[in-house]
Amino acid sequence: MKRRRGAVLAGLAGVAVLAALLEGAVRLDWLSALVVAPPSALPEAFGMLWREGFVAQPFALTLGQAFAATAAAALVGIPSGYWLWRVPVLGQAYEPWIGAAFAAPTILLFPLFLVLFGRGYATTIFVGFIAAVVPIVLKTREAFLAVPRVLFDVGRSFRLSEAGLVRRIAFPAAVPGIFTGLRLALIYALVNIIGMEFLIDFGGLGRIVSEMYFRYEIPGMYAAILLIVAVSWMFLAALGRLETWLRPR
């Protein structure tokens, strides 16, 4: 507990120092206020966003879309990664293709997605899903491959069935690797969803960043970006708690 509290305090101290440096750089004209908003302007910017209805609803929309995309990717990616491990020939055949898809900038296909799904939440969620499912598949397979064979031998010595080996040994041992994939999936889903919202001027916080940019409300734009960081932090914290709950004790 003390170590965790110290880490939190160290992180807050780092943020405070960075904010003070930015404030000083802007006030001394080392950085233009037309490019970088001074931290002292952000509280007023948050107030402006709140008064204009640009906080609660967009925050909830982006949060909901990121959750839907990541959850759908987990429902598809974890079983797919499991079967790529369970049937080695499938893993050897398809892992290179999946890895190549991971490197592809799928958001560049947004005109095609607009034609298929229209300018709506289906498009943004699908873009997030496509970005999120690949790391989950790859990390799930990698996590199962990393389970020591001796654990399976111990399970067989207790006459566990194949399903029991997976449920009681393989899956609990693979949980940390699977959650690494989920964290990556969340990051990629959030980035792509917000990018899509920015491009099509629709949805939640990405649309707010776009609107603040076109209105040239620089402090408001940075305030919206901080809200995006808050969404990411909330999801990562929730995943951390879920991983702790699922890990074997």
b/e map 135-159, b = 16+ CB within 10 Å: bbbbbbbbbbeebeeeebeebeeee
**Spatial distance between the Cα atoms of 92 and 79, rounded to a whole number of angstroms:** 16
pLDDT along the chain (249 residues), means of 10: 68 79 82 81 84 83 89 93 88 81 74 83 90 91 88 78 80 86 87 86 82 83 84 76 65
Measuring CA to CA, which residue among 67, 63, 102, 65 is closest to residue 81? 102
Most distant CA pair in the chain, distance: 73
CB 49 within 8 A of CB 228: no
Q: Which residue has the tokens 């064979």?
A: 149
CB 66 within 8 A of CB 193: yes
Q: How many C-beta atoms lie closer than 10 Å to residue 199's C-beta?
A: 17
Digit-coded pLDDT (tens) for 177-225: 888 888 888 888 888 898 888 888 787 888 888 888 888 888 888 888 8
pTM to 2 decimal places: 0.79
pLDDT of 140 reads 92
Q: Which residue has the tokens 């609990």?
A: 172
Measuring CA to CA, which residue among 135, 112, 108, 113 is closest to residue 124? 113
CB 228 within 8 A of CB 190: yes
Write down the domain spans for the chain: 1-34, 37-246
**Spatial distance between the Cα atoms of 130 and 103, rounded to a whole number of angstroms:** 12
**Spatial distance between the Cα atoms of 23 and 41, rounded to a whole number of angstroms:** 9
What is the fold of 37-246?
Answer: MetI-like fold (1.10.3720)
Q: How many C-beta atoms lie closer than 10 Å to residue 90's C-beta?
A: 14
CB 62 within 8 A of CB 128: no
Provide φ and ψ at 97, rounded to 5°.
Answer: -70, -40
Measuring CA to CA, which residue among 212, 237, 179, 243 is closest to residue 55? 212
What's the length of the chain?
249
CB 150 within 8 A of CB 92: no
CB 190 within 8 A of CB 66: yes
Measuring CA to CA, which residue among 47, 138, 72 is closest to residue 99? 138
**Spatial distance between the Cα atoms of 141 and 168, rounded to a whole number of angstroms:** 17
pLDDT of 69 reads 92
